[in-house]
Amino acid sequence: MKFTRRDVIRTTAGAAAGVVGSRLLGSTPAFAQSAPTYTPEPGATLRMLRWSPFVQGDEDAWLANTKRFTEATGVEVRVDKESWEDIRPKAAVAANVGSGPDLMLVWFDDAHQYPDKLLDVSDLGEYLGGKYGGWYDGPKGYATRDGKFIGLPLAAIGNAIVYRDSWVKEAGFSEFPKDTAGFLELCKALQKIGHPAGFTHGHGVGDGNNYAHWLLWSHGGKMVDEGGKVVINSPETMKSIEYAMELYKTFIPGTESWLDVNNNRAFLAGELGVIANGISAYRTAQINKDNDPKLAEIAKDIRTTNLPIGPVGQSVELHQTTVAVIFNYTPYPNAAKAYLQFMFEAEQMNDWIKGSLGYCCQTLKAFADNPVWTEDPVATAYSKASETLRPNGYAGPLGYASAATMADYVLVDMYARAVTGQATPQEAMEEAEKRANRYYRV
At 360-404, the pLDDT tens digits run 999 999 999 999 999 999 999 999 999 999 999 999 999 999 999
Low pLDDT (below 50) residues in the chain: 1-33
| CA dist 309 → 179, 189, 216, 220, 326 (Å) | 5, 19, 12, 11, 38
Question: What is the enclosing helix (H) or strand (E) of 169?
Answer: helix 165-170
Q: What is the rounded CA–CA span in Å between residue 179 and residue 425?
A: 23
Return the pLDDT at 3: 34
End-to-end CA distance of the chain: 47
Return the pLDDT at 389: 96
Return the pLDDT at 35: 87
In the chain, the amino acid numbered 302 is I
Return the pLDDT at 17: 32
Q: What is the pTM of this model?
A: 0.89
Return the pLDDT at 31: 43
